[in-house]
Chains A and B, each alone.
Chain A
């Protein structure tokens, strides 16, 4: 089992709809959870962090964490074409980040 798993996609969502990205992780000792966005040919950019169970909202983005189910998700409301990118889930354990392979998201105008 991979340490961090994501559906590789591609995931296509109409403009204005909600995009839902999912991630599961294997180590229950994981401490912190991050979502990075990576445009083609660019570096990963941190967009959300979450540390405790529940939801965390920042603008159009909502991160959800369920430690019992070892599940992290990212919701993007009112999706825009500029949201088209690869989204990387990252899990922190003992100061080491382990990344999923990413979900490629395409917003269809």
Chain B
């Protein structure tokens, strides 16, 4: 089975530009999670969706960040405008919903560098 697929794998862009990260969850998984990982703060949950609906976006750092899930097989995380402090690895993960017993499976991540 295909795992969680993220694109691009690497992104380098200048401050102020719009950045869009993409994620395709595992087929049949109805929960999707966006994380950010930095050396200083570790792995932080930004937002998660159940059945394409955003459930908790309390981890989104500020209004420059937005996420959408238009259908069960696709989600985007957008940063506009980007800033150097947004540089990090962004992971998407998916799981089946239910009972609190379903592990999350991670994509390979997008390494984002804002110059």
Contact = CB atoms under 8 A, between A and B. Distances in A.
Interface of A: 31-32, 34, 42-46, 49, 51, 88, 92-102
B97 to A, nearest CB: 7
Interface centre among B97, B105, B106 (most CB of A within 10 A): B106
Contacts, number: 43
A100 B100 contact: no
Contacts of B101: 31-32, 49, 51
Contact of A31 (B31, B100, B109): B100
Interface residues of B, number: 20
Given A97-B45, A99-B42, A49 B91 contact: no
Contacts of B109: 43
Q: Which of B43, B48, B97 has the most CB of A within 10 A?
A: B43
Contacts of A95: 31, 48, 50, 55, 97, 100
Nearest to A100: B42
B12 to A, nearest CB: 16
B106 A45 contact: yes
Given A31-B100, A31-B101, A92-B100, A97 B106 contact: no
